[in-house]
Amino acid sequence: MRWALLLVACSFSLPAATFYVTVAGLGGEPDYEQRFNDWARELDKLVKTGNVNARAVTLRGEAATREAIRSTFEKIAQQASFSDDLMVTLIGHGSFDGEDYKFNLPGPDLTAVELASLLDKVPASRQLVVNATSSSGASVGPLQKENRAVISATKSGTERNATVFARYWVEALRNGAADTDKNGAISALEAFRYAEQKTSGFYETQKRLATEHAVLEDTGEGEGVRAPAPENGKGRFAATFAVVRLGAMQEAANDPTTRSLLTRKEELEQQIDKLKYEKAAMPTAEYRTKMTELLLQLARTQAELDKK
């Protein structure tokens, strides 16, 4: 039943609108304030230029309060429809007291449970949460839900040091190298892998013990993993969530005459990803037959796009 619902959601690969909510929380000192605000500002620019019908709200500094966040989601809940996408990014410091994760804000903090409640009220059928704060691993459990990918900068609530994951998440969205399948769009899975690798490299280069280990959970159950793959069942939904589109892909997505072809292409790519996850459960001959047919359909669709 879960896969059937996911396939229904995946049919909206080119959403009517994508709502982006980016929040840069309390820095605590000037250096962190500057970093968090800069990353949020750049992310705001990237998502506005890198997706079709992007509707972005970015809260920074003293404006990033719990009440402002609640108000933002209440408005989106009224505006969004089932066919829309929603991406939420938290940048800053987080804390975990052994029971609750909290996102540090001016005034009262926001808990993961409170954020989950706000997200549940937004009708957008496909959602992505990127929690790039310290202790963010503790937010995965409360936030996880079917058709919602959750990415956290840390694997648990006990990784409390300031994180750098947000820096490389933003870098992934402006770097074409993150588009590993070269389809003109950077998915949540591709951005996660890029940022996770760059974060690990940062600590190696600095010769420091890594104090953050990013994880991804996109099945609605179980723990987040550092290496999403068909073997652990993670990453399939995240692979279908286009965070930004690049160059010609962005221009084509804005052209009504090619929109249906792009939708068909992304649907085929999603079916191919799904088949890869099901490979181990079917006879080899059946897998090859189905994969060959999908690849042929994809090639024909791409040929039609190339004519545009």
Q: What is the mean pLDDT of residues 286-298?
A: 87
> What pLDDT score was predicted for residue 245?
83
> What was the pLDDT predicted at 301?
83
What band does 15 get if pLDDT is binned at 50, 70 and 90?
Answer: low
Q: What is the pLDDT of residue 5?
A: 33
For the stretch 35-77, pLDDT in tens is 999 999 999 999 988 776 789 999 998 999 999 999 999 999 9
What is the residue whose two structure tokens read 């996102």?
103
Tokens matching residue 20 = 């982006």
Burial class (CB in 10 A: 0-12, 13-18, 19+), 233: middle
Give the whole-angstrom CA distance, residue 248 versus residue 253. 8
Which pLDDT band holds residue 237 (cuts at 50, 70, 90)?
Answer: very high
How far apart (Å, rounded) are the C-alpha atoms in residues 122 and 84?
10
Express each pLDDT in 155-171 by its tens digit. 999 999 999 999 999 99
Write down the pLDDT at residue 10.
38
The pLDDT score that the predictor gives to residue 162 is 95
Query: How far apart are alpha carbons 206 and 106 in whole angstroms?
Result: 32
Select the highest-mean-pLDDT range: 47-56, 259-268, 282-291.
Answer: 282-291
